[in-house]
Structure 1
Amino acid sequence: MHAWPASEVPALPGQGRDLRIHDTATGTLVTPDPGPVARIYVCGITPYDATHIGHAATYNAFDLVQRVWLDNKRQVHYVQNVTDVDDPLLQRADRDNVDWVALAEQETALFREDMTALRMLPPRHYIGAVEAIPGIVPLVERLRDMGAAYELDGDIYFSVESDADFGKVSGLDAATMRHLSAERGGDPDRPGKKNPLDPMLWMAAREGEPSWDGGSLGHGRPGWHIECVAIALDHLGMGFDVQGGGSDLAFPHHEMGASHAQVLTGEFPMAKAYVHAGMVALHGEKMSKSKGNLVFVSQLRRDGVDPVAIRLALLAHHYRADWEWTDDVLRDAEARLARWRAAVSRPDGPPAETLVEEVRDALAADLDAPAALAAVDRWTARQEEQGGTDTGAPGVVSRAVDALLGVAL
């Protein structure tokens, strides 16, 4: 599966910063030390309704992670998956009486277009669940052979009790885990499971649903968590720098994936930092496909909204914050974009070297994008009020906000 084209990232003078970022597992700010190549895995979409503002906010956060690393003269090995077979996708295809493969391809193509328009840097490896099945099957077989998985009516489940470190990603108690498992795709009430929290690794073939040859597992399809584990281990290995996604993935998805990988390899942890973006609401409720309260990037673009303004609307909120999308949020972003573009269109301006360092400092401090925007706003205000004589300043500002914030002026 191919990703989307990369926009050029301008090189800036001076030295970038080491990134300090919030790790869900420890509840603290950590400073990943990736060496010359930083490794990051970000969980992708299930392609049946793409791309809403909640998606865009999440991928914007991890785009900033990459930009901080690139500014610090590191290469970035970024991997993202596409869950192109799963119950919600099949249910949507059945509801709309369309082929599930065609639906997945259509929505994935739309997601690529939106990512390109928003100038999100693409992953080096963009892998669909279906194409990962040949690598998933051996992992499930290994877990079964190790005694860490068991069969229930043809389905294969992972035993969470096989991992002594289970629970260290989310830090939740068992009751909360059980509640969230039922809410987020698990089946804690299924009779016969050894532990209500045990997640499915391999679903035996169901009538009328797609299935693949799973060797000794029989025909079926993979569970959600093992999909990401197989892709991450194949392309990044254990102990990669950042595992990313929305805050609703901390449990069960990232918790379960970590346990799968740790049992398979005997190593801990799967990722050095688990980083989670906040949720975006609309009309007082979390924006979600199940509720249908979605604002789509593609619809905004069709309505004539500049994608750069959409990106600025996202950047106006700290990535870990829960916030609400409103018309005012977008209007504020459009006004900010107009001011910035007017300021850099002048032939000279106030010196901008301090601005570059302020934006670097803000992003290195747990991706404080609002503080970075405020720094650019201050330079813009000086330009509007008094101008300047530095003929290179507008170009420096343009390159800085492009390289560090992904905002093209």
Structure 2
Amino acid sequence: MAHNSSPLGETVRALRRTAGMSQEQLAEDSGLSVGTIRKIEQGGQARVDTLHLIARTLGVPTSTLFAPGAPLPVEEDGTNRQLLAQLRQALMPPVGISAQTLADPGEAESLPEIRRRIEDALELYNADRYDSVARMLPGLLRTAEAATVAAGEEETHQEAVLVQAHALLLAGKYLTQVRQYDMAYHAFVDGIRLARELDDTQAAATGVTGLCWLLLRQDRFDEAEHLAATTAEQIEPKFSTATAGQLAVWGELWLRIASAAVRNNRPDEAAEARRMAATAASAVGVEHADYRTHFSRFGPVTAELKAVEDLALAGDAHGVLRRAGDGLLSRSARRKVGRPTNFNWNRHRLDVAKAHVILGSTQDAMDELVRIRRTTGNWIQHQPMARYVMRDILSTRKRTLTKEMRDMAVHLNVHA
């Protein structure tokens, strides 16, 4: 029987045959339908969570299934080009053959004023107000670079460079969140480079945690794990003297290691990384946030959220729901220890919604999506997981869709 050519399909077929499995066996052992396996082997595409299930059944890293091939045609996206034009100009200016810059130099402001603006932008980011962040970033990047150029004394110059690095790391964080990955990479790499020039290990490591998140978003699991592990080893703190910020960055790196390992079907490495992250979180004691030492919130609740995420990736819906409101994730614990970032909390609630769908509770899943939409503004529209959950609700709902479901499908651009 002839097969349509597809790098993914050829890889899955070869590994299945090497394992001595039929399509029916692979489907049954992975919890997928035979139709899904056939579609993939005949040239179809698959989500990463589907590939993870196949890889786990075949006993190989998920990344083994990522065969090279020509990308799919890109849809015209002139709207995004227009919306991002000013940010591109500030972040990626034209470069000629001379050292003279061809970019808008911007106007220098005082360093305390720029720091205040970075803090304001980060607060807006954490409140899911992405439109406001997008409007602030071009001017913030320009004025930070102008302040670095204008700074004279060595001490002032070093402080200006650090401020510019923080502005770039903020841009990288925002751009990763809205899935503008090439621009985000540029921002993170420039921010890390500036921090390294200052020998500011803390700022550079903060940038690395962001870059690892970007690599994870691009399914570059091996690289994310290796980068995070190498950096964690280089900055390992002495617990008796380490600051909360140092412990937080080190712990965040272990979270990245675990996230990469579990997605890449390396459960033993993931479990050890989760244990190390929990150790760091316990030492911090609360959900700690200070953008000058690390760009996210880290503590016991965050570490527990990520451990529950592993259960979701493994398809353990009962486990997700059992731990979702228990222990460190209970309301009383969050009042005592502190809340995680909105992003991490709402990403966790999407896992809860997915668990409800798997167990057939479509209305409970719908209730979660509605709560997230009500509290996050347009955050949910940037989350593929929300669209996956909504598609599953539409495909498994046996009764007529409610108005609430139809409205959510429109909001997420999911077609019934």
Q: Could you say whether these structures have the same fold, taking a TM-score greater than 0.5 normalized by the shorter chain as the test?
A: no
Q: Give the TM-score, by structure 1 length.
A: 0.24
Q: Give the TM-score, by structure 2 length.
A: 0.23
The answer to which structure, 1 or 2, has the higher relative contact order (CA under 8 A, 6+ apart) is 1
Between Structure 1 and Structure 2, the one with more helix by share is 2
Between Structure 1 and Structure 2, the one with more strand by share is 1
